[in-house]
Structure formats: C-alpha cells, structure tokens
Structure 1
Amino acid sequence: MRDLVLQFFQVLGVLLLAPLLQGVIHNFEEKVQRSEGPSILQPYRDLWKLFRKEIVIPDTASWLFWAAPIIAFTCMLTVPILIPVLTDYPLPYSDMGDILGGGLILTLGSFLILFAGLDSGSSYGGIGSSRATMIAILSEPTLIVVFVGITLLARSMIPFVVNHLLVATPALYWSPSHLFLVAAFFVLILAETDRLPIHSSTHIEVYMIEEARILEYSGPLLALLKWASMMKQFILYTIFCNVLLLPWGLSHAGAPLGALGAIGADLLKFLVVLLVVVVVETTQSRLRFYRYQEPLAASFLLAVLSIISSQMG
C-alpha cells in the first residue's frame, strides 16, 4: 500500500513541479543575460489564465485536433510510473515498460501534436510540423541508440538496474562508454526541450518550430499542451539525473522521510543540470536553421562511440 502511495506521489510530483522547473529555467536565462526575468511561478499563472479562456477550434480541424493535447498530457502522466523519481527500487506498476517502452510513450505525444499541426490546415502548423519532422529524423534515432547504449552498458533495459550498477560500480560510472552516453543524452535534452542553438522558441515566422505547431490552439487545450511540454522536460531531467548522471539520493526503503529527501535531492540535481543548460544555451552563437543537424549528429556519434566502447570492454 505504501508503494502505491509513493507511485501516486511520483506522478503528482512531476505534474506539480514541472512548471516550477520551467519557471526557474526562464528566470535563470534572463539573469544570465543581466535582465530581471519573470517570476519562477509565472508558468503557473500562465496555465491558470489559459484554463479560464475560451476554446476556439479551426473549421478545418478534425477529432485529432481535440485528441492530441489530451493524449500527449496522458502520456506524460504515464512515464513517471516507469522511471526512478523518488525510489531506487521498482514500485508496483514500474514493470509495465522498460527503457524503450518509456521512450516510445515519451515520443508518442510529440508525434500526435505533429499531426495535429497539419490537421488544422494552417500554413504555420505545416511549417512547424515539417521543421519538427526534420529535427526528429535525427533526434529520434539518436534517442534509440542512446537507450541501446544504456542497455548494453548495464546488460538490462530496466532503469532501476542501471541506477544500481552505476552507484555500486565506480569503474563503470567513470568508463568512457558511460561518459559518452551522458554527453549524448545531454545534447538530446537540448533538442527535445527546444534549446538547440538555432532560433526556434519564437513567434517570428522565419524561425519558429514548436510555437508554429500549436499556434492554432487556445484555452484549456493550449494549457494541456504547454503543461505536457513542461512535464516532458521534467521527465528528461529525471532520467538524465537519476539514471545516468547523478544516480544517488533516492529513497532505499520508501519511508516518508526518505521520499521527502529524494524530492530535495532531485531538485538540487535539476538545479545543477539546468545551470549548465542555461549557460550552454545563452553562450552559444545562434546557427542558421539548416545547421540544426550539427549538434544532433555529434550526439549520434557519441552514442555510437559508447556502444563501441562498451563492446570492446
């Protein structure tokens, strides 16, 4: 019963803390650029405002336009069940899927949003979906190769096993195969959270990608999409920190005090990673869009090197 409660709080924690992570990132980005920056609670205010607005649906939209935000939001609520968020041991429903299964669910929401952008019939939706597809052609295979590299490194597809092995085996943690995976996954985080060194998170027609796909959405549907995006970012940070980079600080017995300590440890680890992400994002020169493949190709190469290194011992 206690483990079921812990699993519920895992999902609830991802749901409630994802906007906070987004707010901290936006605030730090502005601070690095010597601006005041929005409050770290601003994403909560934005979501509350959107949930109170009216829904406007394009005349050309089908049922897919309605279903995509709901399914994407549901997918982001499912993945926290499968990964180590509070405990370093599997909870009751954690065996529903492995690393590849979690990755499939994680990308399913983005896949449906891509089709919803085309479904509206808007030229902006078409632009955003086509550009997102161009990036996904490189990012999705890289994600699979990274997960294969993790599997070969730990001889297991269960994230909890990877966590235990890295904690118990310092030689494996500092091995080239593991370090290559960490670097490859870090670049993937930049790509999946729309932080590649290209102009994309903007409403300028020439550059926008993610904003173009959801430009026709409004009200609660737009709130669900934005909330799902924040949750995806939180989940990627969780996988990166608790499985690969900093696999310490999780609860061993599932006691209430240990779970609270795990929440604090997660937030501290996320703070370290987001500081690096913000510095990398704000100090890089912005590239032209057609050069988006450069960081993703580097990430793919790092993942391949990790596989080669692990197989060579």
Structure 2
Amino acid sequence: RGGKGISGTSLKEGDFVEHLFIASTHNYILFFSNKGKVYKLKVHELPLGSRTSRGQAIVNILPFAQDEKIAAIISTRSFEEDQYLILATKNGIVKKTPLIEYNTSRRDGILAINMREDDELIGVKITTGSDDIILVSKKGMSIRFREGDVRPMGRVATGVKGMSLAEADEVLAIEVARDDADLLIVTENGFGKRTPIKSYSTQGRGGRGVKTLRKTSSRGFIAAAKMVRENHELMVISSEGIIMRTPVKQISQMGRNTQGVRIMNLNESDKVSAVALVTEKENG
C-alpha cells in the first residue's frame, strides 16, 4: 500500500487508462458507450498485444462516433434469460433490462438506454433480478436499494430515478451489493478505504442516501467504488498510465463517514483514473 507503481502501458500524450478487465477468449464483450449505445464482440476479435503496447484505438474496432467513449464493459459466456443488466447514468437514473435483449449481431451497435441530452451512461452490472444495488456519487454519497424496486423495462426505455443528487454532484459507480464483501472507495488523489457492506442499510430507491466518504480537499473527489473481498488484489491505474497492484487486505477497513488512507503515491499532476480487481481465479 502507498507504492508508486509501474508503467503498465505505453500511452500517447493526452491518453489514459480507463477500463481494465480479464476475460476468456470464448467470452462475449458488451461495450456500452457514454451515449447509451452497446456494441458486441467476441474476445478473440480484439487485437492481442504485450503488457506495454499501446493497443488499437477503439474507433478502429467499433464504429464509435467522435464524441462517444466506453462507459462500461460486460463480459459474459452466454445470454441467459434469467439474468438482467442494470444501467446507471450520471444523473442518477437506473434501468433494468433482460440480458438477452442485448444479444445483437449488428456491428454498428444498438441503443441500450434512452437518456436526456445532459445525461451520460456511467456503469452497467449483470444481476439475478433479486440483488441489492449500490450507487456512489463523486462527492461521497451512496444509496443501497433492492433491485426489485426497479421493474424490468425494454432496451430503449428511459429508466427511473435511482438516486437524488446535490447540486454539481453526479453518480460515478454502480455495484451489486454482496453480503460477504466490503465497499472499496478510492479517491482521485490516491486515498482509499473499505467498509463492510452491512454498514449500508437498504433504503427506498430515489433517495439521497448516506455518506460513504468524509470528503476533504486533500482526498479529492471519489474516483472509483468497487465491491471487494480480502482475497482480491487491487490494480489502481493513474491518468499518466501508472499501474499499482496491492492486496485488498492491506487497505484499511473503516466506517462509512471516514477519510481513508493513502494507497498510491502520485505525481502532483497525476490522478487516479480507474480501479480494477484481480481474483484468485484470474491470478491462475
């Protein structure tokens, strides 16, 4: 904990890592854009590269529009009828749709959710239909509600309010609550903590929620929120392409309304841009 990390990828100036995931070559990958579209590929259709290679621009693989970027990535072996996707937007809207509705063969993508012009898709999770959902905002608020409070809707529906937000706040993460797990919070300035999920009581959908971080200027806004267990390892990625890997058990377990401790040392101009988890299975 508190290390500097290594260079994990060669980046062009102005580029930075946002998404990191591990998948089998047999999986399907659903790429959800901030504009509310979804594109499907098989993993083997993606170009293979080394740890430090730049990779290919997504616009050379998928037909993204100029102002379109990846908001969420879902990896799945198959499209089951008893599974759902919960989509969340930065303005606190959530939508629940059967996973099978996203099994498309169209290379130009399909609409995943209808949104207002001032809204963007920020996250997507696979669910069973009876899970608890957690939304986390950049200013340190969170809400936990039952998935059953969100009725299934068609792929092109708008959704319903999942979280009410204060002025200038926005939702940055959606997670499925796990009773045996902690909610990990990482701030843009490299601070983090984990809090037992039992500390987050279930509320009605659409409320303001509870504090999940005591925000200070030194900590900065929340950059990422993840459900974690002690056997996980954490990979923290900075906007300058630095990757630091650390066991989750080395990150302090604290209450909801606390500041967290430093987990990554950053240059003054650098910020945390993404967080990914590595499980025992993915470790091999």
Q: Same fold (TM over 0.5)?
A: no
Larger-gyration structure (1/2): 1
Structure 2 length-normalised TM: 0.26
Instruction: Tell me which protein shows more helix as a share of its residues.
Output: 1
Structure 1 length-normalised TM: 0.24
Instruction: Tell me which protein shows more strand as a share of its residues.
Output: 2
